[in-house]
Structure 1
């Protein structure tokens, strides 16, 4: 995928020098659940290219904000287990992991709702998992019968925009409960030339905005 000012791969390799130095959540990224083992809401989030395993620089603040916006509800999180490689070849495998995790938890916890999300290549993971074809890989998709259990889909810096597509219009199942955030000048989603913009989703308040949106979908407000 070639941008006007170079390749997406080259840009993400540069960005990873910053993102990779920020520690993510260890292991699966899961947080303690209720005594029954099932939460009211499970956030399943895929980090960006080059980030350390965990929720990443965008997913961490998003989950924290969502918890703050859902008082009285138990909210757990799962960091998608995938390579998040700079070569952009792992989104398909990430989608498969996201799909299998949602399917597994849904079977064990019939009252748990899900919030799906991703940042950068992690947004592509989410695209594939909800059934939107991309040029960044193929993977398993969430069974359509589980779509009602997904309360919201929130992504940041989604490369899908470079193909002229957006989740709200590209997905019949999830479009009405999806929100995309793209920083002005971000070359990964806006075709811009400001590489630093791709790293600003938490500091700009967009993760907070996304959490407010997702909380509203969870509560139906």
Structure 2
């Protein structure tokens, strides 16, 4: 499913494209979903939780974060492009629908770009030196719930950490870091066997968070929405 944010913003509802935003009432809830590295264009593994939220809230809408999701030597440039995409798409939607409650669901690299865009703090390993949060506090206040699954920036033991991971991911935040402005609105899922958000050796664990924690993520999101 491709994002419909272009010159005229569109919304995605389920698998069909909705009418232009300015020609319809703004939704109460809008979900942004960002896929994992090398997943084809669409929601990727973030789609499990995105769809759970849409099904639980009739009338809610969603859109894909349009970014390369590339790996290997292109990973850093992909993260940089992703942070810009998250920032631009959230800013654009919030400007058009200022009263809509926003939700972000990011999986793997999709979690990393959301983490960097929303929390700031820089990401020097990926060429992001500025520590200022790209998304302003005023826009950030509209983001009511944030779900990270398999975030490479994971450090265990934080106030929003969920799962069995005891070790950090391959591109971790500094020890003791907390995204304090959003701590009550984040859940970050990571298990110890995950080789990307922790130091495990089972890639299947990395792909399984939607099934393992999807309902818990939905319950958390529901608790933050009105």
Query: Quick one: structure 1 residues 218 and 169, their matched pair in 2 at CA, closer, same or farther if it must change by over 3 Å?
Result: farther
**Aligned partners of 1:59 and 1:137: how far apart in 2?**
25
Asked if the contact 2:33/2:47 (under 8 Å) is kept, the reply is: no
Change in CA separation of 1:91 and 1:101 when aligned onto 2, cut-off 3 Å: same
> Where in structure 2 are there 5+ consecutive unaligned residues?
5-10, 155-168
Spell out, residue by residue over 1:59-112, the C-alpha distance to the aligned partner (whole angstroms, 9 max, x if none).
211111112333xx5211111111000122211211111111111111111211
Does structure 1 conserve the Cα–Cα contact (< 8 Å) formed by 2:30 and 2:102?
A: yes
The equivalent position to 2:68 in structure 1, one of 70, 80, 83, is 83
Aligned counterpart, 2:218: 211
Aligned counterpart for 1:171 among listed residues 158, 179, 183 = 179
Structure 1 ranges of 4+ moved more than 6 A: none
Bigger relative CO (Cα 8 Å, ≥ 6 apart)? 1
Residue in structure 2 matched with residue 136 of structure 1 by the alignment: 126
Q: What is the Cα deviation at residue 146 of structure 1?
A: 1.2
Q: Secondary structure at the match of 2:153?
A: helix
Contact preservation (8 Å) 2:191, 2:198: yes
Aligned length: 190
Normalised to the residue count of structure 1, the TM-score between the two structures is 0.77
Please point out which of 103, 109, 122 is paired with 1:115: 103
